[in-house]
Amino acid sequence: MPAKQRSGSAETPTLAVQAFSRLHADILSAKLRPGEKMYVERLRATYGVGATPLREALSKLTSLDLVTAEGQRGFRVAPVSTANLLDITKTRAWVEGTALRAAIAGGDRRWEGQVLAAAHRLRGCPKSDGERLSDEWYRENREFHDALAGACNSPQTMIFRTQLYDLSDRYRRLSVQNGLGGRDFDAEHQSIMDAALARDADAAISLTIDHFVETTRVILSGESSDQDWVDRTIDTLRRDIRAGLGSFPAK
């Protein structure tokens, strides 16, 4: 039998890695609530692993800002706050904007093809399974944005992007989003892609910022009933983002 002898690199994942994946998923999906105490004994029972691999996973999550660890006082799910949500959105816009600009400057025909393919898959993906958007749609959404930034030619930047996407995603999933907020995601994605393929970096970045900022607005609106405060906060955020990126056409 010609079975592969060499085990490759996708070995049996270590228990610490499995625990990491499950904890990561459970924090992002808000099954573990922000600020919640993470009792090792309880997690041990839930995930069926010992304390050592658990602590290892928790330490790694600490570096990703999904868990906080304090002295001799154990671990907690990282807390959330409006300030943090705004900071994450701002940083994400900055990193994504830079990556986009570089990708648009350097992308070749293969890149164009991958963007078109990802956009096609995203369009064909069933959007909602009831009230909310489906998980598959969000996976395709991530892949579309990854494809756009892909040609920035910087692994380190892609790592930061992933980390920031995860942090944002938690806020989105925590939010009580009722409906789509009257947005047309297909149109938003289409215009971002059109601008990118037309090599109009300023337009693509500007549209992407809107894309991010509007999502943040929906989340904030779900938290606060003071629509006026939301508007002011979002305006400030948009101004902060623009202040970090270069000058833009007046739109």
Partner DNA sequence: AATCTTCAGAATCTCGACAAAATGAGGTAC
Partner DNA sequence: GTACCTCATTTTGTCGAGATTCTGAAGATT
Residues interacting with its own copies, by CB under 8 A? 9, 11-14, 16, 52, 55-57, 59-60, 62-65, 70-72, 87-88, 90-91, 94-95, 98-99, 101-102, 105-106, 152-157, 159-160, 164, 240, 243-247
CA–CA gap between residue 96 and residue 87 (Å, rounded)? 14
Displacement of CA 135 from its chain's centroid (Å): 13
Q: Which is nearer to DNA, 13 or 179 (CB)?
A: 13
- The item of DNA, its own copies, none sharing an interface with residue 62, based on CB under 5 to 8 Å by kind, is its own copies
Picked from DNA, its own copies, none, the partner binding residue 246 (CB below 5 to 8 A depending on kind) is its own copies
Strands (E) located in the chain: 37-38, 67-69, 75-77
Distance CA 146, CA 158 (A): 8
* Contacting range for DNA; rule: CB under 7 A; set: 20-28, 65-73, 136-144, 233-241: 65-73
Cβ density class 158-188: b for 16+ within 10 Å, e for less: bebbebbbbbbebbbbbbebeeeeeeebeee
Please tell me the count of residues contacting DNA according to CB under 7 A: 26
Residues 89 and 213 sit within 8 Å (Cβ to Cβ): yes
CB of 49 to DNA, least distance (A): 4
Give residues in contact with DNA (CB under 7 A): 5, 7, 11-12, 14-16, 37-41, 48-53, 55-56, 69, 71-75
